[in-house]
Amino acid sequence: MKRNIFIVGILIVLLSIMFYSQVGKTNNVQVSVEQSTKFSEEEINEAIVTVKKKFKEFRGCELTELWYSESSNGMKDENTMILLSNFKVNSSGGDGSFEPNSTQSDWNWILRRDSKNDNWRVDSWGY
């Protein structure tokens, strides 16, 4: 009986490690925010948090840089923002859609909200 409990415990630990190692990592990301005339620092930081949450779905990837640049934003709408990022893809190729052991550079994150009082949501991403 003790042996069975021990084996089940080991299996749970191994499955937890496997699951955690596949989640998109954001804990060491370098964030850079350029001064904006369009968005407050709080609005930009809320958008950054939204992208970090979405990135956790990018299994086998690690977000290395995330930034807001007013000159790169290019959107006139006050409820649309573009963030840019770089991230590494591990040997698994992420979900299979990325080249294994590659780096994705200047990846776009398009965020939208319904009004200035609403939360940001990631509407689209990619190149």
- Domain boundaries in the chain? 2-126
Q: What is the pTM of this model?
A: 0.80
Check residue 25 and report its DSSP letter: B
Residue pair 26/56 in contact (Cβ under 8 Å)? The answer is yes
C-alpha Rg value of the chain to the nearest Å:
18
Report in angstroms the alpha-carbon separations of 62 from 1, 9, 28, 56, 67. Answer: 41, 29, 8, 9, 15
Per-residue pLDDT of the chain (127 residues; tens, 9 = 90+): 777 776 766 666 555 555 445 689 999 999 999 999 999 999 999 999 999 999 999 999 999 999 998 876 666 788 999 999 999 999 988 878 899 999 999 999 999 999 999 999 999 999 8
Residue pair 111/77 in contact (Cβ under 8 Å)? The answer is no
The Cα 86–Cα 104 span in angstroms is 5
